[in-house]
């Protein structure tokens, strides 16, 4: 855990131009309407801190995966408009993140002013720093201080997260959002209020094996749902029908179960399932107990499993949840995820939700404000729990 990182709070920002990496990778529809501005709102404390203390802010972000090519549908211009509404002050916009326009606006930026640069990933060097080290230098010339407040991309060794802060020796700080994430995912989970329960879902076990092993060093119980549960079932010799499972990872699943058994940590897997015989037209949907019959897909946890999970959640002192319990994007198969979200929200436990669909479920159920901490990083949250640090945090100045 890295809490020895220089914080924005200790960065002298008056009359400085602060180059800040934010995460404005928000969902935008074809009419350029932002469907969820959560990530933009999450950046406001750091931005307003700088502005209130007489600094100016130059914001950098990516949006989507343009893969080094300019794509107008992935422009950050709508984010500039939304940020302007939220701040109640003008937000300038540069049509490129480097080049004459960005340089001119940044040079003439006055204290209290905000500039948002165009999508970093319109340049291939953002994701592949090695192909053009000059990209980082061009960005660095725009500001006098550096702040990273984009936890959701801190696990990526990209130009804006790793190469750029190194060009600001002694002046590269963590924003308030990153500090908050480090405290909750680090301090809170390192010394949790007991019992400590972790609920892990999602489709694949492959991306979460390391996290599961790391959690077994901390938790008092582990609940597993979602598509990854079928790999565990398959490993135990149970039929999963046509359900998603990762072939070749049965040994890893058994290793997790063995480690849990050795450490006397109970692992709860689904005991019943919502199944369908077709993922295309859902001709038949039913609930089965135990194994999943041939010809059927498991698509959600069943009501008995929901009740078992609720019982464990009610007893917990700390809860960490990442990943849906079923095919959450289809409303017919989202009940398990919704029920879990409501149970966590009504719990008296310290509750942390680790990004992605889990956070979406909390918002959809209207319980987001009843959860202790909603992490802004899905993959970053999981990697931080597994490794205790991230490349984008390591690149910052030590306090």
Q: Is the dihedral of CA 159, 163, 167, 169 positive or negative?
A: positive
User: Choosing from 21, 39, 171, 342, which is the catalytic residue?
Assistant: 39
The CA angle 43-322-259, to the nearest 5 degrees, is: 135
Answer yes or no: is 310 a known binding residue: no
Answer yes or no: is 332 a known binding residue: no
Indicate the SS3 state at residue 368. helix
Contact 245, 206 (CB under 8 A): no
**Is 377 part of the annotated catalytic residue set?**
no
Cα(340)–Cα(270) distance, integer angstroms: 13
Answer yes or no: is 25 a known binding residue: yes
Cα(161)–Cα(208) distance, integer angstroms: 23
**Is 89 part of the annotated catalytic residue set?**
no
Answer yes or no: is 238 a known binding residue: no
Answer yes or no: is 65 a known binding residue: yes
Answer yes or no: is 64 a known binding residue: yes
Cα(304)–Cα(295) distance, integer angstroms: 22
Answer yes or no: is 82 a known binding residue: no
Burial class (CB in 10 A: 0-12, 13-18, 19+), 167: middle
User: Choosing from 336, 356, 377, 392, which is the catalytic residue?
Assistant: 356
Answer yes or no: is 194 a known binding residue: no
Answer yes or no: is 53 a known binding residue: no
Answer yes or no: is 31 a known binding residue: no
User: Choosing from 77, 204, 218, 310, which is the catalytic residue?
Assistant: 204
Answer yes or no: is 63 a known binding residue: yes
Nearest in space to 340 (alpha carbons), one of 359, 313, 318: 313
Answer yes or no: is 258 a known binding residue: no
User: Choosing from 143, 336, 377, 379, which is the catalytic residue?
Assistant: 379
Answer yes or no: is 21 a known binding residue: no
**Is 204 part of the annotated catalytic residue set?**
yes
Q: Show the beta-strand stretches assigned E in the chain.
A: 17-21, 56-60, 91-94, 114-117, 145-148, 172-174, 196-200, 221-224, 267-268, 272-276, 285-289, 297-301, 318-322, 350-353, 373-374
Binding-site annotation, residues for (2R)-3-phosphoglycerate: 39, 121, 156
Active site residues: 39, 204, 356, 379
Binding-site annotation, residues: 23-25, 39, 62-65, 121, 156, 208, 298, 329, 355-358
Binding-site annotation, residues for substrate: 23-25, 39, 62-65, 121, 156
Binding-site annotation, residues for ATP: 208, 298, 329, 355-358
């Amino acid at each position: 855990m890295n809490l020895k990182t220089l914080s924005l709070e200790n960065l002298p920002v008056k009359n400085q131009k602060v180059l800040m990496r934010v995460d404005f990778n928000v969902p935008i529809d074809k009419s350029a309407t932002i469907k969820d501005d959560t990530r933009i709102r999450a950046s406001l404390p750091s931005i307003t801190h700088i502005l209130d203390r007489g600094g100016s802010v130059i914001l950098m972000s990516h949006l989507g995966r343009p893969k080094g090519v300019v794509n107008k549908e992935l422009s950050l211009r709508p984010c500039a408009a939304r940020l302007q509404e939220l701040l109640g002050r003008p937000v300038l916009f540069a049509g490129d993140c480097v080049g004459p326009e960005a340089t001119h606006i940044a040079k003439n930026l006055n204290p209290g002013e905000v500039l948002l640069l165009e999508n970093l990933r319109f340049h291939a060097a953002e994701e592949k720093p090695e192909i053009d080290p000059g990209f980082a230098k061009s960005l660095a010339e725009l500001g006098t201080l550096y702040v990273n407040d984009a936890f959701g991309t801190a696990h990526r060794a990209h130009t804006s997260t790793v190469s750029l802060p190194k060009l600001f020796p002694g002046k590269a700080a963590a924003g308030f959002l990153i500090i908050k994430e480090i405290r909750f995912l680090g301090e809170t989970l390192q010394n949790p209020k007991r019992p400590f329960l972790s609920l892990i879902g999602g489709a694949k076990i492959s991306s979460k094996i390391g996290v599961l092993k790391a959690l077994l060093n901390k938790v008092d119980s582990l609940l597993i749902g979602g598509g990854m549960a079928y790999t565990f079932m398959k490993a135990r010799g149970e039929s999963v029908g046509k359900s998603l499972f990762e072939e070749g990872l049965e040994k890893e699943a058994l290793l997790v179960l063995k480690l849990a058994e050795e450490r006397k940590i109970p692992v709860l897997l689904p005991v019943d399932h919502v199944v369908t015989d077709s993922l295309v037209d859902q001709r038949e949907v039913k609930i089965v107990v135990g194994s999943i019959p041939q010809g059927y897909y498991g698509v959600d946890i069943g009501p008995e499993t929901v009740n078992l999970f609720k019982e464990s959640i009610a007893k917990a002192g700390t809860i960490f949840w990442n990943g849906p319990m079923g095919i959450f994007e289809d409303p017919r198969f989202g009940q398990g995820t919704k029920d879990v979200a409501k149970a966590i929200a009504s719990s008296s436990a310290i509750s942390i939700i680790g990004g992605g669909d889990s956070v979406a479920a909390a918002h959809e159920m209207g319980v987001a404000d009843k959860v202790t901490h909603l992490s802004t990083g899905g993959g970053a949250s999981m990697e931080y729990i597994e490794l205790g640090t991230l490349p984008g945090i390591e690149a910052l100045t030590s306090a």
